[in-house]
């Protein structure tokens, strides 16, 4: 393997340690950072994610409240819950775990969250602020990617960056963050023609496609930093969007799955919660 492995576990551990120190300082000033998570229904994956978020908060000293609503709860109940959290002075961050059950309107709920408590960064106000280069809550996964690049001294300034995937949660904010860091950015997606030709130009290649082993070695520029955001289950095993073994022989840096970007998401959620508490200052 030629590429340097980007160790998401180690970077996430460092970030969480820094957060625990800052949280203790804030508590000493009389502010206890507080994240409220709303979980609707019994989706097993969501339950695991929410438990992990709760445990990470507790470990960092951040107060965590999980509000569990029934699978068949009404839109009104969910919206009332969010409004109550908006009005609750003790709550700094609000996260509505997705996906919601099919009968609920996700967009309407996300629109209701106070943008200053939107630690997921999913509210249009925050995506707009990010787009305009204003201070914003940024979705945790792309924020985590930027933290990994920083940890390994990979400076996007002047580089060519290619993002495969155009979701509101990863692809688009990822592109905006790389642009803000002065990269020349291309977003590719399922309709992109001559994909490999474009990705081979990338000094930084971010794969957020949702297809196992999609990025092959011949799509990667020698020495590139390859960041794999994918989490796919194949025969019960977690694999990324990048053909790891083959791409490792070509890339300069690479993130593994698991143990790469995935580790960073919760760490950045804690960061956003701390920021929300610091900004409010009470
Ligand atoms: N479901 C899976 N990942 C996430 C996330 O980062 N935030 C929310 N709200 N729901 C999710």
What pLDDT is stored for residue 275 in this prediction?
Answer: 98
Is pLDDT of 280 > 90? no
Neighbours of 38 (CB within 10 A): 21
pLDDT in tens, 72-98: 999 999 999 999 999 999 999 999 999
Residue 216 predicted with pLDDT over 90? yes
Name the pTM for this structure: 0.97
Is-catalytic flag, 97? yes
- The residue whose C-alpha atom lies closest to atom 8 belonging to ligand 1 is 97
Tell me the per-residue pLDDT of 98-141, one tens digit each, with 9 for 90 and over: 999 999 999 999 999 999 999 999 999 999 999 999 999 999 99
Residue nearest to atom 9 of ligand 1 (CA): 97
Fold of domain 31-115: Rossmann fold (3.40.50)
- Dist. CA 157 → ligand 1 center (Å): 29
Domain over 139-262 is classified CATH 3.40.50.720 = yes
Q: What is the mean pLDDT of the chain?
A: 97
CB 64 within 8 A of CB 23: no
Q: Give the Cα-Cα-Cα angle 170, 173, 174 (nearest 5 degrees).
A: 70
Q: Is 96 in the pocket of ligand 1 (CB under 6 A)?
A: yes
- Catalytic position from the list 16, 22, 118, 120: 120
**What is the per-residue pLDDT for 50?**
97
Cα–ligand 1 centroid distance for 93 (angstroms): 14
Do domains 31-115 and 139-262 share one topology? The answer is yes
Spatial CB neighbours of 225, under 8 Å, sequence gap ≥ 6 = 6, 149, 152, 154, 203, 204, 205, 251, 252, 253, 254
Per-domain residue ranges of the chain? 31-115, 139-262
The response to whether residue 120 sits with its C-beta less than 6 Å from ligand 1 reads yes
Tokens matching residue 105: 């309107």
Give residue 282's pLDDT band: very low, low, confident or very high (50, 70, 90).
confident
Q: Which residues pair with 207 in a beta bridge?
A: 164, 228
């Amino acid at each position: 393997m030629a590429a340097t492995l980007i160790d998401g576990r180690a970077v996430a551990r460092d970030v969480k340690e820094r957060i625990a120190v800052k949280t203790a300082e804030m508590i000493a000033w009389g502010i206890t950072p507080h994240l409220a998570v709303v979980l609707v229904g019994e989706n097993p994956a969501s339950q695991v994610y929410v438990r992990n978020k709760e445990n990470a908060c507790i470990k960092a000293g951040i107060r965590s409240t999980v509000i569990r609503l029934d699978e068949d709860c009404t839109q009104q109940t969910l919206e009332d819950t969010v409004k109550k959290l908006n009005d609750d002075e003790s709550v700094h961050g609000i996260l509505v775990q997705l996906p919601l059950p099919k009968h609920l309107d996700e967009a309407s709920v996300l629109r209701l969250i106070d943008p200053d408590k939107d630690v997921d960064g999913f509210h249009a106000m925050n995506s707009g602020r990010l787009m305009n280069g204003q201070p914003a809550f940024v979705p945790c996964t792309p924020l985590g990617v930027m933290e990994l690049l920083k940890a390994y001294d990979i400076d996007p300034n002047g580089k060519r960056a290619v993002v495969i995937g155009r979701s509101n949660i990863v692809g688009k904010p990822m592109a905006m963050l790389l642009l803000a860091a002065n990269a020349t950015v291309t977003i590719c997606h399922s309709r992109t023609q001559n994909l490999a030709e474009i990705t081979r130009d990338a000094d930084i290649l971010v794969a957020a496609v949702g297809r196992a082993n999609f990025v092959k070695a011949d799509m990667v520029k020698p020495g590139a930093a390859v960041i794999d955001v994918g989490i796919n289950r194949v025969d019960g095993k977690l694999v990324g969007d990048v053909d790891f073994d083959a791409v490792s022989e070509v890339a300069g840096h690479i993130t593994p799955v698991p143990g790469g970007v995935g580790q960073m998401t919760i760490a950045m959620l804690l960061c956003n919660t701390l920021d929300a508490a610091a900004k409010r200052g009470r």
